[in-house]
């Protein structure tokens, strides 16, 4: 996951390959609640691991459910409808799929068994309506207290007393703001069917009906057959009891699939994008996003648990669609619309306004930053095809779908953007709500425009702080890291192992071309042997310097270094990053510090690691190494003509980082 302040997406020109989707959020949290209410143990397979499921799991544990992980399966032992804790405070983040059903279930359990629970979330959760559900629970006789603004979380359910509920009354709930209110009641009210059936009637036109189908389907898996008349009246039979199905599988998230369906439709030019985990047999309503994508031109094939998507019509075709049945996935259509031949109008999307953010306003604002013409209304959005693209910084409003949808703007070159535009996604970690590895999945499928993956090159003499600076910059930018010196050092170690003389250029090059070198986190392996410690020894640095004078060795390591240039970007440090290996790097920094400072730093570094060292001999060695690196015939250590010079003798590490990030920012089009 990218925990950086922002993530710059270089322009991409095609996509191909396979993505395995994480589990559905809607199914995961419903299954967890049902398993938590049922008696016995339910083994849940392929559960989504994300912010929203984590708050539900924490809540269940707080309430007394037992959770046990077994590989990718989670064993949930439920409460069997009996409260084990009568008092708890639950923090539910921004997870509507946890807040609404837990409010209903705990209101009913607290009222009938005596208990009191407080439910709260992040600030945005306290702006998301829940009043219609609270009204329904109060009709039933459940005590519910507003702890903030009436009609919104935080709430207290229960008052520690026991109450007879009016289960004989028909419970009325509004269905036109969020279908989660009805879902919450359907999941919770089987708890109070002892005396007779419980009837729920929906006021207003029920939105997002497919989500109700998921709820009914999962209730059936847990032994509760709800009688449904249209989508207006729902009857829970007398004596309904949750029966664990034993084990249950969570299918891949159909809303998350929408980004990859769109990717295939836009950029699956020679090869398809294959999506695994969700297919035409999906029980999630958002699978019908596929029909909308097909209407725009996507060529889709599929089967149980899989889809393959290629570009069909191009440019895409603008559409007008009632999106009530696919409220979440429909956001993806708004970005696909930029690539269409005519305007796209998405109707009946009022629920977007009460989601993680006001998604109609957010979508319109962010698409306009890219140059698009967008019209928004109370419950619709119209997006015009985009001809004149602009690089943009996309604000994501702590909304995972804004981040994932807008990432698709990075295919702008396919719509003729000249020059192709970089898209900056702010707060990329917001995708953790449903798809923590989204950007890794995206990068594994897309092919950047040639030369578009940016490189930040840092060259300089020994112990100038290149590695330290490069590591910090890579972390803050979310970029890959190339410590090119490590390749020369590994070559030197391999030569030592193989008994190859350090002046035998051809033999060294033959070996360097076939180095079996693996970087795993901070550890480095050569031919399967860990070399993390010997790699960093001063003596190894000296041998690396000797190895690196041979043009053949440099040539042998060239392609390996170029291979590190992968999306979203690279920070590379060494001696010739800016001059030879990445001459087109948009920022080259030549980092220096006085020999005295460098010797002192290296001395401290070695002492801190528990090695013995002598500062005078360190200085002699590093000056000798500098001289060799500067004076060799090929790729000598020197600043590139267009390098920024940074003498950090008097700078802290943070000062240097800030300075380089400033230079980097000056080169961005934002
Ligand atoms: N600006 C700075 N101020 C103080 N210490 C620094 C600064 N930059 C780096 N250092 C320290 O100097 C030491 C050497 O830094 P580092 O290993 O990053 O250098 P390097 O240029 O990558 O060396 P080499 O070329 O040998 O790989 C480290 O202990 C690091 O913490
Ligand atoms: N791009 C590079 C990187 C390193 N070398 C050589 C010269 C150095 O003295 C030696 C070790 O590098 P370090 O790990 O200390 O950065 O490797 C090079 O020639 N070109």
For the chain, the domain total comes to 3
The pLDDT tens digits of the residues spanning 215-270 come to 999 999 999 999 999 999 999 999 999 999 999 999 999 999 999 999 999 999 99
pLDDT of residue 103: 98
Task: Kindly state whether residues 401 and 425 are assigned to the same domain.
Answer: yes
Task: Kindly state whether residues 372 and 475 are assigned to the same domain.
Answer: no
Residue nearest to atom 13 of ligand 2 (CA): 485
Averaged pLDDT for residues 590-595: 97
Residue nearest to atom 16 of ligand 2 (CA): 485
Residues with CB under 6 A from ligand 2: 462, 484-485, 488-489, 541, 544-545, 548, 574-577, 625, 629
pLDDT of residue 522: 87
Look at residue 21 and tell me whether its pLDDT is greater than 90: yes
Mutate to test the pocket of ligand 1, among 468, 548, 656 (most ligand atoms within 8 A of CB): 468
Note if the bond before 336 is cis, omega within 30 degrees: no
* Residue 229 falls inside a structural domain: yes
The pLDDT tens digits of the residues spanning 149-190 come to 999 999 999 999 999 999 999 999 999 888 999 999 999 999
Contacts of 652 by beta carbon, 8 Å cutoff, 6+ apart? none
Q: Look up tokens 């302040």; give the residue.
A: 5
Q: Which two tokens stand for residue 192?
A: 């109070």
Task: Kindly state whether residues 407 and 461 are assigned to the same domain.
Answer: no
pLDDT of residue 609: 86
Q: Which of 390, 414, 448 is the last residue of a domain?
A: 448
* Residue 328 falls inside a structural domain: yes
Look at residue 521 and tell me whether its pLDDT is greater than 90: no
Averaged pLDDT for residues 626-632: 96
Task: Kindly state whether residues 92 and 131 are assigned to the same domain.
Answer: yes
For residue 612, name the pLDDT band (cuts at 50, 70, 90): confident
Q: For the chain, what percent of residues have pLDDT higher than 70?
A: 100
Task: Kindly state whether residues 225 and 284 are assigned to the same domain.
Answer: no
The pLDDT tens digits of the residues spanning 486-515 come to 999 999 999 999 999 999 999 999 999 999
Averaged pLDDT for residues 413-420: 97
For residue 619, name the pLDDT band (cuts at 50, 70, 90): very high
Residue 629 CA from chain centroid, whole number: 42
Task: Kindly state whether residues 257 and 383 are assigned to the same domain.
Answer: yes
* Residue 1 falls inside a structural domain: no
Contacts of 188 by beta carbon, 8 Å cutoff, 6+ apart? 101, 104, 105, 107, 108
* CA–CA–CA angle 172, 176, 179 (5° rounding): 80
DSSP secondary structure letters along 7-47: EEEPPEEEE-EEEEPPBPHHHHHHHHHHHHHSBSEEEEES-
The pLDDT tens digits of the residues spanning 523-581 come to 999 999 999 999 999 999 999 999 999 999 999 999 999 999 999 999 999 999 999 99
Selecting among 52, 328, 398, 483, the annotated active-site residue is 328
The mean predicted confidence, pLDDT, of the chain is: 97
Look at residue 670 and tell me whether its pLDDT is greater than 90: no
CA distances from 585 to 456, 482, 565, 641, 667 (A): 6, 14, 11, 12, 11
pLDDT of residue 178: 86
**SS3 label, residue 162:** coil
For residue 611, name the pLDDT band (cuts at 50, 70, 90): confident
Q: What is the CATH number of the domain that holds 135?
A: 3.65.10.10
Sheet strand arrangement including 41-45: 66-70, 73-77, 41-45, 247-249
For residue 418, name the pLDDT band (cuts at 50, 70, 90): very high
Q: Which of 215, 249, 283 is the last residue of a domain?
A: 249
**Has 369 been labeled as part of a binding site?**
no
Task: Kindly state whether residues 472 and 406 are assigned to the same domain.
Answer: no
* Residue 182 falls inside a structural domain: yes
Task: Kindly state whether residues 567 and 606 are assigned to the same domain.
Answer: yes
**SS3 label, residue 622:** helix
Task: Kindly state whether residues 431 and 498 are assigned to the same domain.
Answer: no
* Residue 434 falls inside a structural domain: yes
**SS3 label, residue 304:** coil
The pLDDT tens digits of the residues spanning 372-397 come to 999 999 999 999 999 999 999 999 99
Q: What range defines the domain where residue 125 resides?
A: 25-249
Q: Look up tokens 């009325």; give the residue.
A: 172
Residue nearest to atom 25 of ligand 1 (CA): 462
* Residue 311 falls inside a structural domain: yes
* Residue 637 falls inside a structural domain: yes
Q: Which atom of ligand 1 is nearest to the CA of 655?
A: 1
* Residue 87 falls inside a structural domain: yes
Task: Kindly state whether residues 377 and 497 are assigned to the same domain.
Answer: no
Q: What is the CATH number of the domain that holds 537?
A: 3.40.50.300
Look at residue 33 and tell me whether its pLDDT is greater than 90: yes
Residue 635 CA from chain centroid, whole number: 40
pLDDT of residue 414: 98
Residues with CB under 6 A from ligand 1: 462-468, 485, 541, 601-602, 605, 648, 651-653, 656
The pLDDT tens digits of the residues spanning 442-497 come to 999 999 999 999 999 999 999 999 999 999 999 999 999 999 999 999 999 999 99
417 Cα–ligand 2 center, Å? 39
488 Cα–ligand 2 center, Å? 6
Task: Kindly state whether residues 38 and 110 are assigned to the same domain.
Answer: yes
The pLDDT tens digits of the residues spanning 89-140 come to 999 999 999 999 999 999 999 999 999 999 999 999 999 999 999 999 999 9
551 Cα–ligand 2 center, Å? 14
Report the candidate in 614, 588, 590 with the shortest Cα–Cα distance to residue 603: 614
Q: Which of 233, 249, 265 is the last residue of a domain?
A: 249
The pLDDT tens digits of the residues spanning 303-361 come to 999 999 999 999 999 999 999 999 999 999 999 999 999 999 999 999 999 999 999 99
Task: Kindly state whether residues 478 and 467 are assigned to the same domain.
Answer: yes
Active site residue 328: yes
pLDDT of residue 90: 98
């Amino acid at each position: 996951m990218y925990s950086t302040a922002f993530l710059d997406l270089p322009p991409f020109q095609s996509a191909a390959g396979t993505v395995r989707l994480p589990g559905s959020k809607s199914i995961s949290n419903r299954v967890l609640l049902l398993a938590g209410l049922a008696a016995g143990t339910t083994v849940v397979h392929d559960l989504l691991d994300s912010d929203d499921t984590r708050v539900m799991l924490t809540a269940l544990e707080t309430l007394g459910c037992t959770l046990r992980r077994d590989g990718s399966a989670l064993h949930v032992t439920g409460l069997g409808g009996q409260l084990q804790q009568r008092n708890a405070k639950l923090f539910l983040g921004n997870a509507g799929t946890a807040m609404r059903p837990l409010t209903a279930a705990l209101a009913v359990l607290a009222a009938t068994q005596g208990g009191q629970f407080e439910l709260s979330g992040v600030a945005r959760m306290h702006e998301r309506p829940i009043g219609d559900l609270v009204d329904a629970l109060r009709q039933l006789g459940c005590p519910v207290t507003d702890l903030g603004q009436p009609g919104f979380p935080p709430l207290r359910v229960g008052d520690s007393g026991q109450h007879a509920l009016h289960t004989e009354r028909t419970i009325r709930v509004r269905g036109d703001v969020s279908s989660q209110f009805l879902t919450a009641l359907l999941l919770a009210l089987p708890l109070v069917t002892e005396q007779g059936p419980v009837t729920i009637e929906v006021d207003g036109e029920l939105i997002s009906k497919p989500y109700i189908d998921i709820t009914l389907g999962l209730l059936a898996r847990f032994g509760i057959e709800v009688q449904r008349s249209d989508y207006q009246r729902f009857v829970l039979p007398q004596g309904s009891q949750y029966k664990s199905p034993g084990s249950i599988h969570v299918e891949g998230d159909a809303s998350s699939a929408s980004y990859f369906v769109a990717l295939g439709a836009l950029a699956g030019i020679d090869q398809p994008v294959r999506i695994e985990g969700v297919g035409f047999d999906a029980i999630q309503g958002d699978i019908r996003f596929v029909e909308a994508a097909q209407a725009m031109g996507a060529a889709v094939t599929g089967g149980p648990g899989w889809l393959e998507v290629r570009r069909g019509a191009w440019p895409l075709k603008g559409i007008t669609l009632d999106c009530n049945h696919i409220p979440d996935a429909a956001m993806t259509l708004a970005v696909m619309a930029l690539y269409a031949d005519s305007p796209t109008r998405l109707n009946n999307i009022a629920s977007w306004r009460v989601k993680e953010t006001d998604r109609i306003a957010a979508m319109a604002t962010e698409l306009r930053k890219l140059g698009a013409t967008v019209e928004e209304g109370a419950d619709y959005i119209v997006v015009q095809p985009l001809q004149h693209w602009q690089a943009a910084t996309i604000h994501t409003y702590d909304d995972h779908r804004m981040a994932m949808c807008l990432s698709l703007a990075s295919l702008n070159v396919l719509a003729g953007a000249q020059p192709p535009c970089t898209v900056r996604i702010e707060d990329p970690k917001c995708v953790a709500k449903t798809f923590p590895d989204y950007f890794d999945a995206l990068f594994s499928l897309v092919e950047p425009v040639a030369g578009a993956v940016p490189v930040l090159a840092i060259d300089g003499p020994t112990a100038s702080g290149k590695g330290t600076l490069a590591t910090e910059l890579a972390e803050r930018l979310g970029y890959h890291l190339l410590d090119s010196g490590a390749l020369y050092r590994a070559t030197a170690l391999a030569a030592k192992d193989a008994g190859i003389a350090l002046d035998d250029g051809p033999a060294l090059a033959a070996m360097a071309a076939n180095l079996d070198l693996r970087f795993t986190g901070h550890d480095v392996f050569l031919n399967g042997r860990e070399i993390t410690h010997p790699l960093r020894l001063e003596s190894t640095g000296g041998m690396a310097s000797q190895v690196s004078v041979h043009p053949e060795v440099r040539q042998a390591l060239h392609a390996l270094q170029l291979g590190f240039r992968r999306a979203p970007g690279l920070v590379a440090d060494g001696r010739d990053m800016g001059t030879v290996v990445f001459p087109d790097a948009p920022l080259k920094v030549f980092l220096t510090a006085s020999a005295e400072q460098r010797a002192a730093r290296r001395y401290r570094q070695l002492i801190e690691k528990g090695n013995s060292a002598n500062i005078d001999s360190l200085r002699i060695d590093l000056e000798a190494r500098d001289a060799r690196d500067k004076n060799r015939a090929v790729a000598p250590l020197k600043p590139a003509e267009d390098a920024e010079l940074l003498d950090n003798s008097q700078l802290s590490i943070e000062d240097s980082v800030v300075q380089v990030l400033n230079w980097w920012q000056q080169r961005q089009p934002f």
